[in-house]
Amino acid sequence: YPSDCSEEYSVICQKHMFDRDHQPSNLGDDDLAPGKWWFAVETDFGGEYKGCDVEVRVQSALQVEFGFVDGLRRDEPHPVANVDSNENRVISSIAIGQEKTQNSFLQNFLLRSASNSSTLLEASTSSYRLGCSYEYVSQPLSCDLTQGHDFSVVMIGEDDTGNTFQRYSTSLCTKWYVCENGGAYYNGECLCPDYYAGDLCETPLCQNGGILSSDGRKCTCPSGYGGDVCQFVHCEKNSRTYFTNDEKSLVFVIEKSENTAYAIQDISNHFTEIVQKMWDQHQGWIGSYMILTFTVDGTIEPLDIFYEPTQFSMYLSHLSNLAYDYPGSCQMPIWKALDSLFDSPLSVNLPGSEVVIVSAAAPSDVDLASLQATMEKFDIQTPVIDYLHIEAFDCPVDDWKKDLGDFDTFLSTTGGIIFRAAGAFVGMGLKEFLPTRHAPQRLSYSDPLNCKDNDIYILVDFNMEYVFVILGGSNPKIEVETPLKDFVEVSQMWTTDQQKMWMILPQYPGIYKITVNSDVPDCFPMIYGTGEAFGYGTHAAQVFSGFIQSYNNLDTPKPYAVYGAVNFPVFNLLVRQEAEPPVETLYMTRMSRRDSEGKDEESYTSDVDRRDGCSYTYVGKAFTCVADNDVITLSVSGVDSYNQPFTRQSTTYCKKDTTNAMKSAVNVTNLLF
């Protein structure tokens, strides 16, 4: 490598992953023909001879990995040979792209001196092994001939097309070190991870007042901290919150009136199909069916529960006949009905369930105070509350949208959205919509009034198989651009006079740009992905979040941030029991606030630390709410098992707490530390 940026090297042929316009290059373009190539290097004979170095590299889909072992049946290679062993062998594996190849094979291994002469030190044929990750192994090779110097390892084989290939690498013979605590051996020494030191990374560096044991191998942690080196906050009392997507309830909160009677019957007619499609999405998702009805005069019938879809369908049909006798209205006491839902003895079934409000009206009784009073009743695992609005001829769109902003914000705090359907097609609409609501993860927040050429960027992780977009308007449109700047065809799942829904099938992970356009000023764009891929058994990252008011010990967070207290966001990254030990992790959280006048601003950025002995295993740094009743959007970012970044978002309020929140002794705004 050049010693400084002014030194130049001559390059005969060079390819990069990206071109000068930052676009991915096509590795298939201008490939050299297979075979043996040669070239001559000529220095400047007119000047003083200084010698020259020539290096030849190849950019190829055929990759050869190798290392050294000191036994025929060992399969965990070291980058160097063991100077104390007479059983050093080279082991190797061949892959084309990300897949191992069955048609390429290795024939020979050579050891050559690293000097200019490249003297042949030793040669060996290659043998194939069964049941090993590194399927090729050499005969024993001796370190004696290397005389303590670096040497080249040359691997020669034949590729899928019958052409010979060879790969060079450099190694040496030295004493093997078995690095402890996740240390990595490199260039004759152990490179230690954070919190460890010593020649073999054997010594923990105790954090947060931890005391090293007399043998120097273990930390004794003070109260409030845990982990191998006391690096994690330890919850004094684990809430033992159980995170699952199974055995939830499908809950209907239905307006009983002449405006909804036909729609209720249509739901009944399609209910078996709806349940079957939800079952196909995730077996075991729904375990019961509940219903609560309300009328225009404020009468609320008690929450009832069913366990068989056929019984529930029959009840809906009966309810439809009764509904024709009740008057409808464009404004209904929806909030009173929803509030009473949480007062029912059956509310124990609500956490994490799917609640669908079915109404042809807009809420007549929604104000900020009543919204926040209901939030006090929430368990941290709130249900997902979706609002199915039945498009009725008697209720103009403008009237329906009146004062809907606060209600839409409330729905978003539960992960819910507004979905629309005409009365004659409600059953068909729910058959398309409800299966997408299994473990929905919001991927991005967008201003509900930003409806012209609005570019929304989302991070798609490896196992996010489906992304859904809902946009209001009579003729809304979306355009989807992939990380490679290609445009994706989208599948329209549902359409009404005032809303459309699309499904996107990401071809690969990365950053996607979704451009939305609508003919209405309030289009309420919503983008979310499913937590589990349809029928594939794969799982995208799913995050639960909340807020605590004590960094060291609380594990029962609130679903909102407390105004007048110091808050800490906490998170749980769901680990499914059937999955292998996960390597997903969270690393950063951000927050934006929207004040009472609708102005948005970025207010908080923090790294995310692990916690020990807690159900919510990640915690961010402290912050305080700027003002009461601010709406805050919390984003948390991490990487999945394939090292692909992802972001999940949630919305909630900063509100005064009427329970027992711990108050801050100092008036601090946007405290970051």
| Confidence band for 367, pLDDT divided at 50, 70 and 90 | confident
Q: Examine the pLDDT at 397 and tell me if it is beyond 60.
A: no
Q: What string of DSSP letters covers 239-266?
A: --PPP-SSSEEEEEEEE-STTTHHHHHH
Q: In 356-497, which ranges are continuous DSSP H helix?
A: 368-375, 397-400, 405-413, 426-433
| Confidence band for 671, pLDDT divided at 50, 70 and 90 | very low
Strand partners, 367: none
Predicted pLDDT at 585: 87
Q: Kindly list the distances between the CA atom of residue 638 and the CA atoms of 167, 543, 644, in Å, as whole numbers in the listed order.
A: 36, 10, 8
Rg (CA), the chain: 32
SS3 of 510, please? strand
DSSP H/E element including 279: helix 261-281
CA–CA gap between residue 358 and residue 253 (Å, rounded): 6
The string of pLDDT tens digits covering residues 12-46 is 655 555 555 656 566 556 677 788 888 777 776 66
Strand partners, 317: none
Q: Examine the pLDDT at 666 and tell me if it is beyond 50.
A: no
Over range 269-287, report the average pLDDT.
Answer: 91
CA–CA gap between residue 154 and residue 166 (Å, rounded): 7
Does residue 290 contact residue 356 with C-beta atoms inside 8 Å? no
Predicted pLDDT at 117: 84
CA–CA gap between residue 7 and residue 610 (Å, rounded): 45
Q: What is the pTM of this model?
A: 0.71
The string of pLDDT tens digits covering residues 65-107 is 999 999 899 998 988 898 888 899 999 999 886 677 778 899 9
Of the candidates 171, 225, 229, 222, the residue with the CA atom closest to the CA atom of residue 196: 229
Of the candidates 481, 470, 539, 487, the residue with the CA atom closest to the CA atom of residue 510: 481
The string of pLDDT tens digits covering residues 183-198 is 887 766 889 999 999 9
Asked, colleague to colleague, whether 9-176 and 543-655 share their fold, the answer is yes
Task: Please tell me which of 303-312, 382-391, 614-623 the model is most confident about, judged by mean pLDDT.
Answer: 303-312
CA–CA gap between residue 259 and residue 330 (Å, rounded): 9
DSSP H/E element including 110: strand 105-113
The string of pLDDT tens digits covering residues 125-154 is 999 999 899 999 999 998 888 888 889 999
Predicted pLDDT at 536: 46
Residues in the chain, how many? 673
Predicted pLDDT at 160: 86
Q: Kindly list the distances between the CA atom of residue 146 and the CA atoms of 45, 154, 169, in Å, as whole numbers in the listed order.
A: 35, 15, 15
* Greater model confidence, 486 or 50: 486
DSSP state of 382: P
SS3 of 346, please? helix
In this structure, the number of other CB atoms found within 10 A of the CB of residue 564 comes to 17
CA–CA gap between residue 351 and residue 354 (Å, rounded): 9
Q: What string of DSSP letters covers 436-467?
A: GGSSEEEEE---TT--SSEEEEEEE-TT---E
For the chain, give the percent of residues with pLDDT over 70.
Answer: 86
DSSP H/E element including 314: helix 309-323
Over range 412-424, report the average pLDDT.
Answer: 88
Q: Examine the pLDDT at 582 and tell me if it is beyond 60.
A: no
| Confidence band for 501, pLDDT divided at 50, 70 and 90 | very high
CA–CA gap between residue 210 and residue 659 (Å, rounded): 35
Residue appearing with tokens 């919850």: 235
Task: Please tell me which of 56-60, 376-380, 512-516, 599-603 the model is most confident about, judged by mean pLDDT.
Answer: 512-516
CA–CA gap between residue 272 and residue 58 (Å, rounded): 59
What is the 3-state composition of the chain as percent helix, strand, coil, each rounded to the nearest 5? 15, 35, 50
- Token pair listed for 565: 């207290």
Residue appearing with tokens 């024939």: 107
Name the CATH architecture for the domain at 240-439.
3-Layer(aba) Sandwich (3.40)
Class of domain 440-530: mainly beta
Average pLDDT, the chain: 84
Q: Which homologous superfamily does the CATH classification assign to the domain defined by 184-234?
A: Laminin (2.10.25.10)
Q: Examine the pLDDT at 315 and tell me if it is beyond 60.
A: yes
CATH code assigned to 9-176? 2.60.40
**Range scoring the smallest mean pLDDT among 68-72, 436-440, 546-550, 599-603:** 599-603
Q: What string of DSSP letters covers 173-226?
A: EE------TT-EEETTEEEP-TTEESTTS-EE---TT-EE-TTSS-EEPPTTEE
List the end-to-end C-alpha distance of the chain, in Å, as a whole number: 40
The string of pLDDT tens digits covering residues 223-261 is 888 889 998 888 878 888 888 888 999 999 999 999 999
Tell me which of 3.90.1570, 2.60.120, 3.40.50, 2.60.40 is the CATH number of domain 543-655: 2.60.40
Within 13 Å, how many C-alpha atoms sit on residue 285's CB side?
A: 23
The string of pLDDT tens digits covering residues 476-492 is 999 999 998 889 889 99
Label each residue of 316-340 as H, E or C: HHHHHHHHCCCCCCCEECHHHHHHH
Alpha carbon 261 to its chain centroid, in Å, reads 41
Q: Kindly list the distances between the CA atom of residue 486 and the CA atoms of 481, 492, 505, 516, in Å, as whole numbers in the listed order.
A: 6, 19, 13, 17
Predicted pLDDT at 660: 52
- Token pair listed for 33: 């023909």
Residue appearing with tokens 């989302």: 458
Residue appearing with tokens 């601003």: 601
The string of pLDDT tens digits covering residues 371-381 is 777 777 776 55
* Greater model confidence, 39 or 559: 559
Residue appearing with tokens 């009983």: 256
Of the candidates 666, 556, 660, the residue with the CA atom closest to the CA atom of residue 615: 556
Predicted pLDDT at 637: 92
* Greater model confidence, 241 or 577: 241
Predicted pLDDT at 25: 60
Q: Is 313 exposed, middle or buried (0-12, 13-18, 19+ CB in 10 A)?
A: buried
Q: Quick one: residue 433, left, alpha or beta (phi over 0 = left, psi -120 to 50 = alpha)?
A: alpha
Domains of the chain, by residue range, sit at 9-176, 184-234, 240-439, 440-530, 543-655
Predicted pLDDT at 559: 87
